[in-house]
């Protein structure tokens, strides 16, 4: 068994799942809404990078920066126009709204850029590889994924623990009404968390396109894996999601190597097992509300 190869590929893919899982968790942490449009929001913003590169021949970093601004606006707009107007919404109705947004974005992207796979070259290549130790082949892409995931992780740790906005987001999640009474503008907190989540989703999606292919469906499967990673690590735990992603990537690769036919159901098995055995995930506390 090519252990080294499976380990590196599994960890790198897992870091992508973890990074994308963060996009899901950030919204869940503030509003307890599972955003099923996260994949398509990331896909749509990635197409903005593609559009600027292909039709306006912008330098990559300019296109990425513009797409980050777009992703933030998209997050705010989705929250403002689709979720905020819902009157006395239940969690289920908000989830259904995100499903509607998902279909809307998918349809719009297919109409605008076509359903065909697109050519999308990034400055980081999956095909450029290094062999620092004999047998350990690591691609430029995997290196970039590890570095970016670590940077995002450190940034989020400080953001949630050392900044007033991060504290406000945590407070809003724990008790929206109490947070309001304490003077927190919860609407602004929600809008910010959607923007923040959308930007992290874009970063994960751009990294994924370097390994896969860009088309309007390209985030469907990674979203499922990221969701499984988030459930595994704990929907309330930022480090938990990244560790969950890494476990997910490794499980999928080693499991897929040993039993290829069963590889596609790995994520489902993880979700079902975790929900049965430890519903709050491996690294999150299970909150029980007294009634």
Partner 1 sequence: MDLKRITRVMLVCLFAVFLFTQAGQAAAERGFDDKEIRIAAWGPQTGPAAPWGAVARGSKLLFDIVNEEGGIHGRKIKFFVRDDQYNPSQTVAAVKELIERYGIFAFVGGVGTACCQSVYKILLDNKIIWISPCSGARSFWDPHNPYLWNIWPTYEDDASILAKFAVEKKKFKKIAMLYNNDDYGLDALDSVKYRLSKYKMELVAALPVEPTERDLSSQVAKLKASGAEAVIGFCAPTQAAIALRTSVSQGFRPQWFHSYNLSDYPLMNKITDGLWSKEAVISSAFFIPSFADHPLINKYRKAQERLAPTERWGIFYQAGIVVGEPLLEAMKKAGKNLSTEAVKKELDSLKNFQGVGPKITWKPNYHKAPRSVQIWQAGPKGENIVLQDWTENEISRH
* Interface residues toward partner 1, by CB under 8 A: 1-2, 5-6, 9-10, 13, 107, 110-111, 114-119, 121, 126-127, 129, 137, 139, 141, 208, 211-213, 215-218, 220-222, 252-257, 260-261, 263-264
User: By C-beta, is 39 or 234 nearer to partner 1?
Assistant: 39
User: By C-beta, is 136 or 155 nearer to partner 1?
Assistant: 136
Shortest distance (Å) from residue 5 CB to partner 1 = 5
Distance CA 13, CA 19 (A): 10
Distance of CA 141 to the CA centre of its chain: 18
Shortest distance (Å) from residue 283 CB to partner 1 = 24
User: By C-beta, is 29 or 51 nearer to partner 1?
Assistant: 51
Residue 86 CB neighbours (<10 A): 12
User: By C-beta, is 5 or 167 nearer to partner 1?
Assistant: 5
| Residue whose entry in the numeric block shows the structure tokens 């930022």 | 238
Rg (CA), the chain: 19
User: By C-beta, is 1 or 133 nearer to partner 1?
Assistant: 1
Q: Specify the DSSP class assigned to residue 88.
A: S
Specify whether the CB–CB gap between 226 and 21 falls below 8 A: yes
Distance CA 113, CA 116 (A): 8
Specify whether the CB–CB gap between 115 and 127 falls below 8 A: no
Shortest distance (Å) from residue 116 CB to partner 1 = 5
Where would I find the H helices in the chain?
Answer: 3-31, 38-55, 60-78, 91-113, 140-162, 164-174, 176-181, 186-209, 220-233, 238-258, 266-277
Q: Specify the DSSP class assigned to residue 214.
A: B
User: By C-beta, is 68 or 145 nearer to partner 1?
Assistant: 145
Distance CA 78, CA 11 (A): 32
Shortest distance (Å) from residue 65 CB to partner 1 = 24
User: By C-beta, is 234 or 249 nearer to partner 1?
Assistant: 249
Shortest distance (Å) from residue 22 CB to partner 1 = 19
Shortest distance (Å) from residue 224 CB to partner 1 = 9
Shortest distance (Å) from residue 106 CB to partner 1 = 8
């Amino acid at each position: 068994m090519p252990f080294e190869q499976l380990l590196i590929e599994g960890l790198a893919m897992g870091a992508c799942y973890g990074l994308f899982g963060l996009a899901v968790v950030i919204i869940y942490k503030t509003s307890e809404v599972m955003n099923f449009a996260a994949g398509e929001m990331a896909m749509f913003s990635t197409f903005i990078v593609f559009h600027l590169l292909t039709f306006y021949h912008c330098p990559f970093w300019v296109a990425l920066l513009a797409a980050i601004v777009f992703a933030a606006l998209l997050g705010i707009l989705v929250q403002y126009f689709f979720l905020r107007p819902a009157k006395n919404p239940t969690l289920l109705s908000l989830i259904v709204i995100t499903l509607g947004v998902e279909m809307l974005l998918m349809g719009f992207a297919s109409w605008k850029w076509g359903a065909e796979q697109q050519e999308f070259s990034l400055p980081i290549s999956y095909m450029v590889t290094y062999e620092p130790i004999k047998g350990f082949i690591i691609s430029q892409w995997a290196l970039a994924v590890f570095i970016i995931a670590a940077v995002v992780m450190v940034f989020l740790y400080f953001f949630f623990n050392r900044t007033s906005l991060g504290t406000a987001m945590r407070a809003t999640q724990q008790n929206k009404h109490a947070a309001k009474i304490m003077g927190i503008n919860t609407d602004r907190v929600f809008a910010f968390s959607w923007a923040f989540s959308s930007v992290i989703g874009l970063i994960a999606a751009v990294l994924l396109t370097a390994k896969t292919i860009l088309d309007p469906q390209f985030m469907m499967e990674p979203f499922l894996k990221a969701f499984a990673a988030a459930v595994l690590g704990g929907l309330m735990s930022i480090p938990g999601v990244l560790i969950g992603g890494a476990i997910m990537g490794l499980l999928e690769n080693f499991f897929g190597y040993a039993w290829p036919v069963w590889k596609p159901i790995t994520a489902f098995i993880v979700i079902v097992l975790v929900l049965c055995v430890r519903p709050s995930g491996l690294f999150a506390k299970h909150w029980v509300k007294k009634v």
